[in-house]
Structure formats: structure tokens, C-alpha cells
Structure 1
Amino acid sequence: MAPKNRIIIDTDPGVDDVLALLLALSASPEELEVAMISVTYGNVPLQSCLRNVVALFHVLEKELSWRESVGKTSGAYGALRAFKPIVAVGASHPLEDEEIIADYFHGADGLHGVHAAHPHLSPDDTWRSLFADIAGEPSEAALPPSYSSFFTPSKTPSHQEMLRILREEPEDTITIVAVGPLTNVALAAAEDPETFLRVKELVVMGGAVGVKGNATPTAEFNCYADAIAAARVFALTSPVPASTMPPVFNNLHNLAPYPAKLPRRLKLSLFPLDITTPHELRQRAFDDKIKSLLESGSPLAQWTNTFLTGTFNQIKAMLGQASDEGLSLHDPLCIWYMLTRDDPAWKPVAKPEDIRIETCGQWTKGMHVVDRRSRLKANEETTIETHPEDPLDAVKFDEVPGDTLGWLSVNKGNRINRIVASPGEDIFGTVLLQRLFD
């Protein structure tokens, strides 16, 4: 039976990224297929992010063996058993800016020292030879590689693997779920925008629209880490991508502008902090869930207990209080959406929003800017002229008097489907624990 959803996960593990990956791999084959895991820098440097992905598969291999040994033979992790995702390595730094990491929250290795705490749950370093050189790391090709049989390593840059999959698979069958900085996605879109737009949907965890940021007062980390990439990707939702493209300064990757004529607009579903922050995993619920599993010797319980306990302690330190802390499930929420996308409780804004990314502001880089004025937009029916034989080839756009930067033209600006409601912020933590550990 064909899987319900086929996805590429672009990720920078990271604590909540790992939880998102576990949730995806715990699905049934009928719910989800993870076709590829695209690794980027972000919460920690690229090499550490990749190590965490390889370690995750290593732990799951041990976990499934342990479950079999104790007679726990449920159908959990069906997607992991049924499919074998490609793991590819992507960008090690933003398109133009210096690298910014969040190891103050996730720990130096991205998982609060889990590799040092449980060396038996970390793969031998010979896995590095399975991938292309990572940030100048020496090759270990002479050593026999060690890695889990549950994934296929790739030496091709991840943005090119994305394009290959989109090119080879039928249009509208692959969704990209981006839960890290959007650099890899932006590189794919720039290299071959026509192929990239074969994607069914781009699900993005990023931004803060009506709430405070978590990297700066106005910006969420993923979009702050590479605001240029986010702006370029968001521009593909516009009828005229040039109207919201960021200004070019360094252009270290020699990225070309998008063609004036594209086959269609990108469908982008945005999960900003507004919707993700209230969906929490409470420490007491986690502790209660894994207590017996730790006593029984579950490798997954041991592994997750280390980095989640470290995260809960870090939250307490940052807030200056000790209580039943909650970890916001930013990235896992995007996977829950993929698992339950047909649930009518998922609600986007009534009409796609013109959300633009600030890329130049000294204090506002990465900010998601929306037009909160009450002025009417131009009449949609009379603002555009096209060639009669080719309606996609626009030749004239009416300008709106007093409109600065195209905020009032219906033909300019982005079209973002911001998600504003889920099946229940009060139940997601329980759902996550059940799927990962039952």
C-alpha cells in the first residue's frame, strides 16, 4: 500500500529536531514515508547535527532489538522498518551571514552531552567516511564504515538530492518539512526553481508573527539564522517573486534571481512560534512515561532521558525557577501535521498572508513583517494585464497610489498559509510520548 504522505525532512538536530525525527519514524507505513533526511547547520555546527542523525538510527536499531528481546513486538516504528531514507549533508553556513548556533540551549553536541554519557549508544566515528567531507574534516575512507542499516548515506549535497527526488517522483507527491534554517531549501530553489516547484507543499517551522521571538525580541531562531534564505524561499509564494526578494550584498553562492515566469507558486504552510510554543512536553509526564522503561533497559529511554533532562534543567535555569517545566514542541508539531493533515482541526488563516522577512535590519533581522494597516488593496480584477495567448506572461501591473514597496498591490507580496490551530495543544505531549515509547 502506498504511504499516505512522502516527506523530506530538512533538519538541524537539536533536541526538538530529534523528537520530530523520532515521531516521523515511529509512524505506520500507511501514514508516512520519510524519503530523505537533509542535514543542515543550525542549533549546533553541521558535523554535530549529522552525528546526531546517525546516532539516532544507531539508537533505534538497538531499541528495536531490545524490544524484541523483551517480547515487546508492537507495530511501532513501522515507517522505520518499511522504508530506508537517504541521509544527505547540506550547507554548513548561511547564504551570506556568519553562522549563529544555539548550543547554549541544546548543549555543545546538540543533545546535552548524550554521546559522552552513553558512548555505547553512539556509533563509531567511521560513519564519517560515508559522507562527503564535512567542514574540512579528514577522510576516514580507509576504515570500515559503521552505520545503521536503516538509512542510505549520500555523498551528494542535500539540496541536489532534494531536486533529484522531486525530479524523479510525480509532481505533488513529495512534501518538504523544514525545521531548521532554510539554507538547503533556498539552494535547491535557486539551482532549479522549476523542479523545486514540483513539491506538493513546503512546511516550515519558523518565524514569530504576533508573539515575541526566541533568538531576538522579534525573530525566531531558524529565520534569524539565515534570513536571506527564508526571504528567498518565501518569495516563491508570490505572483511576482521579485517583489519580495531580498537585496543582494555578498551573494557568496552566486545565486541567480528567479525567472520572471515560473510554472506555479509555492504552497508554504508556516508554523511560527505563535502556534508551536503552546504545544509542550511537560517534564513530569515525560518522567512518568519512561520510569519503567529505564528500569527495563530501553536504549531509547536512556538516550532521550539524558538530553531531555538536560533541556528541562536548562529551561529552569533560563527562567530562574524550579517547577514542572514544559519544552515547546516546535519541530515535532510539523510532523504531527503531516501525520494528521486531513484533520479539520488544523486551520490556516482564512486567507494567505503577505508575510515578508526582514534581512537588513540592525535589530530586526529575521523578523516576520506583516501589514497591519487597514487600507484596502487594489481591485484584484483590474490590476493585471497579460498576453491573451499566455496568461502567465504578465506584461503590466497597475500601481496603487501611495503604495510603498508593493504592500497594497494584489499582484505583489507573498502568500503564506500560516497555521493558527491544531487538533489540541493540550494533548500533543501525550500523543508524542505514546508514539515514541509504546
Structure 2
Amino acid sequence: MAPKNRIIIDTDPGVDDVLALLLALSASPEELEVAMISVTYGNVPLQSVLRNVVALFHVLEKEMKWRESKGINKGSYGALHSYKPIVAIGAEHPLEDEELVADHFHGADGLHGVHDKHPDLSPADTWRTLFDDTAAGKQGSVEPPSFSKFFTASKGPAHKEMLRILREEPENSVTIVAVGPLTNVAMAASEDPETFLRVKELVVMGGAVECVGNVTPVAEFNCMADAVAAARVYALTSPNPASTMPPVLHGKSFLPPYPSKLSSRLKLTLFPLDITTPHELHKKLFNEKVQPLLEQGSPLAQWTETFMNGTFNKIDSMLGEGHDAGLSLHDPLCIWYMLTRDDAAWKAVPELEDIRVETCGQWTRGMHVIDKRGRAKPAEQDSTVRTSPEDPLDAVTLDQIPGDDQGWLSVRNGNRINRMLSSPGHEIFAGMLLDRIFV
């Protein structure tokens, strides 16, 4: 049976990123196929997050052997056994800014020192040669000889691999789930917009819309890490992408503008902090699940216990005594959506929203801006603005409103974002996540 969803995961592991990857790989082959894991800088620098991805597959290989020896749950991790995703290296830094990292929360290696505490669960350093394009003499995906049966290393850059997959697979058959800074996605979209728009859906964990930010009062980490990339990607949801593209600073843009006309608009589903933060995994629930597995010798339990309790201890230190430490499952929530997106309990804002990203504010960089003035768009009530049957995206009469220089009241301008509001249940997600990841 063909997989229900074929996805590319663009990620910067990171604690909750690893949980998201484990959730995806633990799916049944009918539910999900992970075609590629596209790695970007983010929570920690690029080489550290890449090491964490390679280590994850190394631990899973040990875990599957352990489960086989115990005769445990042979049907688990169907997606891991049925498909072999490409792992590709992406951007080392944002398009135009200095690198922002979150090692104060995730630890210097992104996983609270797990490689030093469990060297037996870390891959040999020879993994680094797998991604060396000079060793192969040419770019492209190659089999990692005698290294891992669960992934294929790419010697080509992540954004080009992303485009190759979108070009080779049927249109509207691949979804990109972006749970880190959007630099890789922006680079793919810029290099070949029409191929990029073959994507079925872009699912983004990012932003804070009606709630406070987590790195500044108004900005969420992924968006703040590369606000320009986010603004460029969001612009592809607009009938007129030029209307929300970020301004060119310092006299030069790293990436060129989009063509004046594109064949379609991007479907972007946004999971901001507003919906992700309430989905929490608490220390007590996690340890109740893994403690029996630790006693039995599960490699996966040993590995995850180290960085999860490191995270819980960090949260305790931030909140003070008396709090039940909870890790917000930001990134795993996007994978849960991919597994269950036909569930009617997923609710989005009733209409697509014009959400724009601030890219040059001194205090507001990365902020998600929406128009809360409640003013009607005249063109929505006036038939003088029509579309062409030959090109529905091309307005015959532009709805220019005096004094509306930024196009907030124009049906032609602005972004069209599908913002998620609720899931099938924040109170059940953590338990379901643990049940899928562990036996």
C-alpha cells in the first residue's frame, strides 16, 4: 500500500526535533514515508545538529536489535524499516543575519551532553565523510557504505535535494514539514519557484501570533533565527508575492526576487506558539514510561532519558521550585498533524490570514504581524475588482485604497496563511507520543 503521506522534514535537532523525528519514523508505512531529512543550523550549529541526526539513526539501529533480541513489538517503527530517507546538509547560517542559537536551552551539543555521557550510543566520527562532496568527486545522493541501513547520505546541498524530490515526484504528493529556521526552504523556493510550488503543503512550526514570543516579547525562535527567509517563504502564499517580500537592506539581497507571475500559490499551514505551547510532555509521565525500559537495557530509553531529563532540569531551573516541568512539544505537533490531518478535530482560523513577518524592526524582528483594525476590504464588497478567467491570480482592476500604502486592505496584496488553532487534544498527545516512540 502506498504511504498516506510522503514528507520532507526540514529540521535543526534539538530536543523536540528529535522527538518529532522519532514520532515520524515510528509511524506505520501506510501512514507516513519520510523521504528526506533536511538539516539546518538552528538550536545549535550545523555540524552539531547533523551529528544528532546521524546519532538518532545509530541509536535506532541498536534499539531495533535490542527489541529483536527481546522479542518485543516487532511491528514497531514501520516507516523506519520500510523506507530509507535521504539525509542532506543545508544552510550554516541565516540569509542575512548573524546566527542565533538556543544552546542555553538544548545544551552545547543540542542534546544536553548525550554524546559525552553515552559514547557507546554515538556514531564513530567516520560519519563525517559520508557528506563530503570532495570525496565523491561529484554531487548527489550516495549509499553510505557499511554505515547505516536506515538512511542515505547526500553529498549535495539540502535545498537542491528538496527540489529534486519535488521535481521527480508527482505534483502535490510531497509535503515539507519545516520545524527549524526556514533558510533551506527559502533557498529552494528562490532557486526554482515553479518546482517548489509543486509541493502539496508546507507545514511550518514558527511564529507567535496572539501570544508572546519565546526569544523576544514578540518573536518565536525559528522565525527570529531567519526572519528574512520566513518572510520570503510566506510571500509565496500571496496573489502578489512582491507585496510582502522583505525590503533589501545594505544595498544587496542574498536571493533574487520571485518572477512577477507564478502558476500557483503556496499552501502554508502554520503552527505558531499559540497552538504548540499547550501540548506538553511532563517529567513524571516521561520517567514513568522509560524507567522500566531503562532497567531492561533499551538503548533508546538510555539515550532519550539523558537529554529529556537534562531538559526538564533546565525548565525547573528557569521556572523555580514548585512547578511540574513540562516540555512544549512544538515540533512533534506538526508530525501528529501529518499522521492525523484528516481528523475533523484539527481546526484552523476560518479564513486564510494575512500574516506578515517583520524583518527590520529594532525590537520586533521576527514578529508575526496581522491587521487587527477590523476594517473591511472594499474590494470584497465591490465588484469592480475582478479576476481574469485565464489567470485567476491576475486582477483586472487593482483595488488601490488611498492611504493604504502597505496593501493591508487590498485583496490583491498580502499573504494567505492557514493558521492552526486546535488539535484532536493537547491532553492526550504526550501519552500517544510516548506510546508510539517506546514499546
Secondary structure in structure 1 of the residue aligned to 2:20: helix
Name the SS for the 1:365 alignment partner. Answer: coil
- Equivalence map 1:14-163=2 (5 Å): 14-132=14-132, 147-163=147-163
The farther-off stretch of 396-405 and 285-294 is 396-405
Aligned to 2:376: 376
Cα pair 1:384 1:411 within 8 Å, conserved? no
Deviation at 1:147, TM superposition (A): 3.0
String of CA shifts for 1:20-57, please: whole Å, max 9, x gaps. 00000000000000000000000000000000000000
Superposition pairs for residues 186-335 of structure 1, below 5 Å?
Answer: 186-250=186-250, 254-335=254-335
Matched, 1:418 2:405: no
Distance 1:44 1:391 in 2: 43
| Deviation readout 1:61-106 (Å, 9 max, x if unpaired) | 0000000001103311000000000000000000000000000000
Counterparts in 2 of 1:389 and 1:328: CA distance versus 1, 3 Å: closer
Aligned to 1:138: none
CA displacement at 1:401 relative to structure 2:
2.4
Distance 1:168 1:313, change over 3 A: same
Task: Provide the secondary structure at the position in 1 that maps to 2:291.
Answer: helix
Residues 84 and 95 of structure 1, relative CA distance in 2, 3 Å threshold:
same
Deviation at 1:384, TM superposition (A): 3.9
Q: 1:403 deviation in Å?
A: 1.5
Give distance in 2, aligned partners of 1:65 and 1:356: 48
CA distance in 1, matches of 2:431, 2:407: 45
Query: How far apart, CA to CA, are the structure 1 residues paired with 2:393 and 2:329?
Result: 40
Does the alignment pair 1:170 with 2:170?
yes
Q: Are the aligned partners of 2:239 and 2:393 in contact in 1 as well (CA < 8 Å)?
A: no
Contact residue 228 and residue 246 of structure 1 kept, 8 A: yes
Structure 2 length normalisation: TM-score? 0.95
**Could you tell me how far 1:379 is from its partner in structure 2?**
2.1
SS at match of 2:317: helix
Indicate yes or no: 2:424 matched with 1:435. no
| Larger CA deviation: 72-81 vs 359-368 | 72-81
| Residue identity in the other structure for 2:352 | P
Deviations 1:407-432 (A, max 9, x none): 01111100000000100000000000
1:322 Cα offset (Å): 4.5
Partner residue, 1:348? 348
Contact 1:348/1:417, CA 8 A, preserved across alignment = yes
SS in 1 for 2:36: strand
Measured after TM superposition, the shift of residue 145 of structure 1 is 6.5
Q: Indicate how the Cα distance of structure 1 residues 279 and 387 shifts in structure 2: closer, same or farther if over 3 A, else same.
A: closer
Distance 1:254 1:224 in 2: 17
Distance of aligned partners of 1:133 and 1:97 in 2 relative to their CA distance in 1, 3 Å threshold: farther
Shift in Å at residue 252 of structure 1? 7.1
* Shift, 1:281, TM fit: 0.4
Q: Distance in 1 between matches of 2:186 and 2:152?
A: 24
Distance 1:388 1:169, change over 3 A: closer
Q: CA deviation at 1:324?
A: 2.5
Q: Secondary structure at the match of 1:238?
A: coil
Give, in whole Å, the separation in 1 of the partners of 2:373 and 2:430.
37
Name 2:409's counterpart in structure 1.
408
For residues 398 and 24 of structure 1, the distance between their equivalents in structure 2, rounded to whole angstroms, comes to 44
Gaps of 5+ in 1: 135-143
Task: Please say if residues 190 and 257 of structure 2, whose CA atoms lie closer than 8 Å, have aligned partners that are also in contact.
Answer: yes
Provide the secondary structure at the position in 1 that maps to 2:378.
Answer: coil
Pair 1:377–1:162, CA change in 2 (3 A): same
User: Post-superposition shift, 1:390?
Assistant: 4.5
The aligned residue for residue 141 of structure 2 is none
Q: Which residue of 2 aligns with 1:137?
A: none
Deviation, 1:254, is 3.6
Matches of 2:61 and 2:392 in 1, distance apart? 53
Whole-Å separation in 2 of the counterparts to 1:256 and 1:132: 28
State TM-score, norm by structure 1: 0.95
Contact 1:54 1:147 in 2 (8 A): no
Seen in structure 2, the aligned counterparts of structure 1 residues 337 and 390 have a Cα distance that, compared at 3 Å, is closer
How many pairs does the alignment contain? 429
CA positional deviation for 1:125:
0.6
Distance in 1, Cα, partners of 2:325 & 2:90: 34
CA RMSD of superposed structures (Å): 1.6
Query: Which runs of 5 or more residues in structure 2 are unaligned?
Result: 135-143
